[in-house]
Structure 1
Amino acid sequence: MTGERRKFTRKSEDARREALIAAALELIAEGGPTAATVRAIAARAGVTPGLIRHYFDGKDDLTREAYRAMMAAMQADNTTVLGPATADPATRLAGFVTAALRPPVMDPHRMGLWAGFIHQVRSDPDMAAVHAETYLRYRDLLESLIADLGRHEASALRGLAIACNGVIDGLWLEGSALPAAFAPGELERIGLMAVGAILGLDLLSRHPAEEQP
């Protein structure tokens, strides 16, 4: 009985923490970081302002955790297409690039949130650490997908991953900011061609970009 009660309490605490993070993300999306006050976050989550101190070391800590949660969710959405590690490496990489340049990863709402957070990276060392953590996790995953191709020297993998990540990031930003400016599937095709050109292989034929409805 005690074990069951402890499990339930842990789950409840996790749910409250996640609710506070979700409330902060909603408020930042609606009005920027200044809209996510302690009182506003607490009201949106349906808790008292003092409860935030129970889970976080103040608003700044909550904001950093909200950024980490958003980036983790984006990466999770991006990696759902990978499938088993035994699949053809080029096909897996093409799927990864394509997923990064279509919903739900490429999304005006998420881009707005990212923009609301990113200016804090230069002024808050702890936020910069979260940014570095999430960036490196994504880049390391991309590097591992490139390594699986078996076409490049180990010493070249880091630079190739940085270059490919730069292409993906740039197209993601433009597509999220101005979705109506591009034809369905256009950025996916460009991403596959550009990343393929960097790596010296034809990714477009491995995973043709599907048009969005």
Structure 2
Amino acid sequence: MPAADAKDRRAFVREAPDRRRQDLIEATLALIGEHGFEAATVRAIAERANVTQGLIRHYFQTKDDLICAAYAQHMEAMTGLGLAPADGPGDALDRLRKVLAASVRAEVANPRNLTLWASFIARVPASDPIRQTHERTYLAFRDALQTLITDALAETGCPVPARDARRLAILCNAVIDGLWIEGGALPDHLSEEDLVTLVLDAASTLLSLPLSRGDRP
């Protein structure tokens, strides 16, 4: 038993630094989400995470590094929710339908996510690291969407070249973006049910695929 206790203590020590780093990222996102980008000062982040300002410099060389890490986590979380069904069961058409629906559900399309996204996106033109994070997460989602579209069209006997699949993925992604932004901004006017129905109807028209709820067997 003593040996096991010592092992547990060592494991805790190894995990603690990662937990503190995560606390700093979560504190940054919370401040931006609640009060806007300017509220995320080094002092406020340290107070929110219940650490010293010096500890922030231990994990992040600059405040910009912390901001970029927070943005990366936020975007990866949102795209992860949308793409979660991509590797699940079902044929490509069914998985595409589930990805489209997941991308506008309340876990993604909500006021907090919209506030965070808007705060960061305004800094894309002026910040290379934030722009690179935005580009990486955008392309990851778009490329996954393109793969699903390619496979779904091939399954239904309508294969398309990569150039056309890319164009269709960009169009579908634009529809998703528009709907989740409006859903996050006006949740009282667009329910989750509305958003899912709209994204499936729009994608069904764009792709000439039976994606709408009325098309299900």
TM-score for both structures, normalised by structure 2: 0.88
SS at match of 1:80: helix
1:51 aligns with 2:20: no
Task: Show structure 2 runs of 5+ residues with no match.
Answer: none
- Which residue is equivalent to 1:124? 127
CA contact (8 A) 2:68 2:130 kept: yes
CA distance in 1, matches of 2:114, 2:62: 25
Larger C-alpha radius of gyration, 1 or 2?
2
User: For residues 65 and 143 of structure 1, do their structure 2 counterparts lie closer, same or farther at Cα, with a shift above 3 Å needed?
Assistant: same
Give the counterpart of 1:79 among 63, 75, 83: 83
CA distance in 2, matches of 1:26, 1:89: 37
CA contact (8 A) 1:101 1:171 kept: yes
User: For residues 207 and 53 of structure 1, do their structure 2 counterparts lie closer, same or farther at Cα, with a shift above 3 Å needed?
Assistant: farther
1:12 aligns with 2:31: no
Task: Show structure 1 runs of 5+ residues with no match.
Answer: 209-213
- Which residue is equivalent to 1:211? none
- Which residue is equivalent to 1:96? 99
* Overall identity of the aligned pairs, in %: 43
Give the counterpart of 2:42 among 38, 42, 59: 38
Give the counterpart of 1:161 among 161, 164, 169: 169
Comparing 74-83 and 135-144, the one that deviates more: 74-83
CA contact (8 A) 1:90 1:206 kept: no
CA distance in 1, matches of 2:9, 2:60: 23
User: For residues 114 and 196 of structure 1, do their structure 2 counterparts lie closer, same or farther at Cα, with a shift above 3 Å needed?
Assistant: same
1:159-210 deviation per Cα after TM superposition (whole angstroms, max 9, x unaligned): 11111100100111011101111255122111111111111112014787xx
The alignment covers a number of residue pairs equal to 207
Give 1:3 deviation, angstroms.
8.0
Give the counterpart of 2:108 among 102, 105, 108: 105
TM-score for both structures, normalised by structure 1: 0.90
1:137 aligns with 2:140: yes
Comparing 5-14 and 40-49, the one that deviates more: 5-14
1:22-71 deviation per Cα after TM superposition (whole angstroms, max 9, x unaligned): 00000001111110000110111111001111111211110111010011
- Which residue is equivalent to 2:201? 193
Give the counterpart of 1:152 among 160, 178, 190: 160
CA distance in 2, matches of 1:140, 1:3: 43
Question: How much is the aligned-residue C-alpha RMSD, in angstroms?
Answer: 2.0
User: For residues 4 and 23 of structure 1, do their structure 2 counterparts lie closer, same or farther at Cα, with a shift above 3 Å needed?
Assistant: same
CA distance in 2, matches of 1:98, 1:78: 8
CA distance in 2, matches of 1:10, 1:73: 24
For 2:121, give the aligned amino acid. Answer: I
